[in-house]
A = this chain, B = another copy of it.
Amino acid sequence: MSGHKLDEIDRKILAELQADGRMTNVELAKRVGISAPPCLRRVRTLEEVGYITGYHAVVNARALHFEVQVYAMVGLSSQAESDLQAFETLCLNWPLVRECHMLNGEVDFILKCVAPDLSSFQSFLTSELLTAANVASVKTSLVIRGAKDLPGVPFDVLEKRLAKNS
């Protein structure tokens, strides 16, 4: 993957599939300006080499009665590597935790959680997260509303940078 160089068409493919991951290959080929077979080969290569790591439908959490989204800031007692990994493993096994990122600064981890309602989140918080080994502090913030939620990277920024450096 490190040895693989992207050209402008590859970047267009990535941008298009990031915007619409279920686009047909012929539509994609038309948009990026090549014919379908080479376009499909490029997509396969981008997948194999790791530029594309998956495709997901975005499902409406509210409609499925997951009404609550919470960010949890977690501080640990020990920041030894083995203890960090132990906490990450816990997170992987908690289905309500959708994202877990290790941070610098005062807080060690930020978790993005979903739950059907406040009470089921509270029971997760008190009986799972707060009682987990090595957890020193948890600060939670409810999401009131979402204003923006885009996946991945801004390709317009990428293209501008490439234009400058050429």
Q: Are B92 and A141 in contact (CB under 8 A)?
A: no
Q: Which of A14-22, A32-40, A128-136 contacts B (4 or more CB under 8 A)?
A: A14-22
Could you pull out 12 A-B pairs where Cβ atoms are within 8 angstroms?
A17-B57, A17-B59, A18-B59, A53-B59, A53-B60, A66-B158, A69-B101, A97-B148, A99-B148, A100-B147, A101-B147, A107-B141
Q: How far is the CB of A64 from chain B (nearest CB, A)?
A: 6
CA of A15 to CA of B62, assembled, Å: 15
Query: Which residue in B148, B152, B161 is a CB contact (below 8 Å) of A61?
Result: B152
Query: Cβ of A104: which chain B residues have Cβ within 8 Å of it?
Result: 141-142, 144
**A80 contacts partner chain B, Cβ-Cβ < 8 Å:** no
Least CB distance, A8 to chain B, in whole angstroms: 13
